[in-house]
Structure 1
Amino acid sequence: MIAYEANFDGLVGLTHNYSGLSAGNIASQKYSQQISNPKSAALQGLDKMKALANLGLVQGIIAPHMRPDTTVLRRLGFSGSDHRVLQQAAQQAPKLLTSCCSASSMWAANAATVSPSADTYDRRMHFTPANLVNNFHRAIEHQTTARILMAMFNDENHFCHHQPLPASEQLGDEGAANHSRFCGQYGDQGVEMFVFGRYGFDQHQQAPTRYPARQTYEACAAIARLHQLDPQQVVMAQQNPLLIDQGVFHNDVIAVGNQKTLFCHQYAFLHQADVYQQLQQKMGTDFSIIEVPNNVVSVDNAVSSYLFNSQLVTLPDGDSSLILPQECQQNPQIWQYVQQLLQAQVGINRVDLFDLSQSMRNGGGPACLRLRVVLTEQERQAVNPAVLLTDTLFKRLREWINLHYRDRLVEADLADPSLVLESQTALDELTYILKLGSVYDFQRV
């Protein structure tokens, strides 16, 4: 069946800030406490979406979450008006406040794991929102994420929505950032690769020692079962624990795949040769592995430039483009390799560079910002059309961002009670624009 891959990007939220909440994410730690620009961040992300749409790709939008999250703060014992809740939290538990103000839902690769209908027994697309239990500021996202996804993909004849996995350390799930799908044509049955950092119940297996491994084998296996995948079409691969300890907190920081191509670092996986063998056995002899040697691109340079946190996309003319952050061009080692990659003509035909500096300083590049969704034409018709980017929607969202977003935010601003009203006003308008209904707590009281 004919199908194509759509990218649904997370729209950066109004409280985009640098609070350094993510252990193991080097950029998040490096830029902690610096001044952020939410308006610039949102416009940068929107411009990337428009550029991909102009390349002929289907582009969608995932709405940000309501922040500050005073609902969660009240569950934690703070009471009174919103002003009073924020004031108490700032004085008594500032890390809780910054966590409840994080705009991390912008990284839509962590929103969910998605299996297309070509891979599932019931021939419906399956969604499982990630529980994100490793970090508190992300563990509070899944309920709103589930509502937004259901409002976007709301036809049960085509889409099956699962609850997040139980919120347990042994079932830590970080979504599509640790999931890749390989196929011939997008409408063909594919091979889904789940990448995990550790085993949840077997403490004797290899695991990182410095930074947490966020995805467990048990979570991957559970999602494969929930999504009704053929076990013969599934590959389980373990991240190299040494790389997690060097800042590779998700697989999409060190590898990216598309159709019959895997682009990865030499040390991306534990037992890497076995992973390659499994993929080649299931995908056939024309499966292409572009392995980047460590002596050509070091792990440190891969992490700082986000070379592998790129989008590898197939354009309508059949060319394959690597969607890169501009930091790759600014790193001499990385940019020299990219030029060699293009000259080698091994399956990546072009690169497209984007300024995503606001997102990059918080530890997320092009791949972090998008959730990949393979759609047949019937499924595309069943998607909420208001979330698919058009010239008209692009113009309207630019106006909406310019009207509602601040251009400067520091941690002290998070206790400003007017930030709550600003966010509620803006998101109420956004749900009208995107026709999402009442997905936020403040709309449901």
Structure 2
Amino acid sequence: MNDLYDRHRAVLPDWLALYYEDPIEITHGEGRHVWDAQGNRYLDFFGGILTTMTAHALPEITKAVSEQAGRILHSSTLYLNRPMVELAERIAQLSGIPDARVFFTTSGTEANDTALLLATTYRRSNTVLAMRNSYHGRSFSAIGITGNRSWSPSSLSPLQTLYVHGGVRTRGPYAHLDDSAFIAACVEDLQDLLGHTRPPAALIAEPIQGVGGFTSPPDGLYAAFRDVLRERGILWIADEVQTGWGRTGDHFWGWQAHGQSGPPDIVTFAKGIGNGMSIGGVVARAEIMNCLDANSISTFGGTQITMAAGLANLNYLVEHDLQGNARRVGGMLIERLRSVAAQLPGVREVRGRGLMIGVELARPGTDEADPQAAAAVLEAARADGLLIGKGGGHNTSALRIAPPLSLTVAEAEEGAAILERALRSAY
């Protein structure tokens, strides 16, 4: 294993982060479990950063990919592509956006890039509103709108970005307010901001901030923002790369918790829809999607092999009501972790929705982030057979829990017990 690590360090960038003091090589998986090169078995509560959404080695997806590979892997968007059209039809119907058009990419970063291109072209403005503590990808333009310093290595950008309050409920100047007053204060701040700048192209926001530590505003905040934006013709882009496809349990899309003003103008997606295959995409009203006046294609976006996987995955997700499972099992898991947190002074908050759960750690008796404890819990959980993630806008002090949506009650209990032991070892 050390040999592979040495080889990794010799040929890959220093900034390509690895988890664990002794990094592991995952060789195979099945269901909600994976194995490393030493034969150790782990319960997977992170799913390749929320990407293995359904299950590892799901037979229905494996069969679809194998059969498609036996026909043709790829032809580009220059030719008619039946699997791409079929998946686009399903997503357009599920999006809630009227007269929807779908464009496929290979990642969430590329999807957000496309959304920004569409919005700035449609509105003839390069000013973008984004949320503090946000993350939208690693391309030049996506870094330019990311509101999380840990993931933004450059201040250079093709866009002028203005950051808005509201993505983090329990920190910042409005944290002491109740939900309705919090929303009112954030809306007032947005209105004030818009009074001091040229009209922006769009607001881009994650319904639940992923890399930011699974933080979110009160339900209804983005609906209230939408009312302000609509008056000025400003578009709303919902970044559903991590929240989409039923992961939050209560809704199929994260934006639906803020849906009182109707669907967003643009929705971006990726990660879970491919269950590990590289699929991203954008859904937008036809007038917005069709606003580009130059030719464009995608060499690898929408390729047949990934579309076959996406179709099989989406069919399985819907037919087995994995959204409902996320609501039931996720709700139980959140309550279990909250009962543990109540006994531990270092757990500042357990938050989330469905199977998208954040556990924020702080130095006992303070609000000060505790990244060392988060790293220690990550290591202890791994040693006990559980893989989790970490993130957060305050020195990476939040644990991120996002298992495949087919998680069973028994597996949730097992993972919660391991995590409890890991937390107790840190505090």
How high is the TM-score relative to the length of structure 1?
0.26
